[in-house]
Amino acid sequence: MGIREDVFFEGGPHIGDLIINLLIGLTIIGLPLTIGAIVRALWLRYRITNRRISVTGGWQGRDRTDVIYAEIVKIVKVPRGVGLWGDMVLTLRDGSRLELRAVPKFREIYDYINEQVAAKKVGAA
């Protein structure tokens, strides 16, 4: 039997990101942003558990990235959409970065990830 994981958050990007970008898409200049938001709404999914962060995305949701908390060295959050959603960048031990875009409840998720990273650092020491 596998190791049990407690899911903290599972879902896609915030719906406000799609709505705002659809409105921006009414201009010719905003079309690339609108297309990006539609692709995110269709195929981007986040799953945050007590063991890892999984991001499924890419064209038709074919790409999946899993990161365990012990690999995260830095987290940066940026509020968007009047603070209703936000973006996060996770810097990993090897220097690579994982970008989480249009995350709903991003403040709570940021705090949860920080707690998990701190707990893994204490456990590793």
What's the confidence (pLDDT) of residue 15?
A: 95
- At residue 118's C-alpha, the angle toward residues 92 and 123, to 5°, is 100
Per-residue pLDDT of 64-112, as tens digits, reads 999 999 999 999 999 998 889 999 999 999 999 999 999 999 999 999 9
Cα torsion 75, 80, 42, 10: sign: positive
What are the pLDDT digits (tens) for 29-60? 999 999 999 999 999 999 999 999 999 998 88
At position 98, the amino acid (one-letter code) is L
Q: Are 45 and 104 in contact (CB under 8 A)?
A: no
Confidence category of residue 16, pLDDT binned at 50, 70, 90: very high
Check whether 123 has a pLDDT greater than 80.
Answer: no
What is the overall mean pLDDT for the chain? Answer: 92
Q: How many CA atoms lie within 13 A of 73 on its CB side?
A: 7
pLDDT in tens, 88-97: 999 999 999 9
Cα(49)–Cα(112) distance, integer angstroms: 10
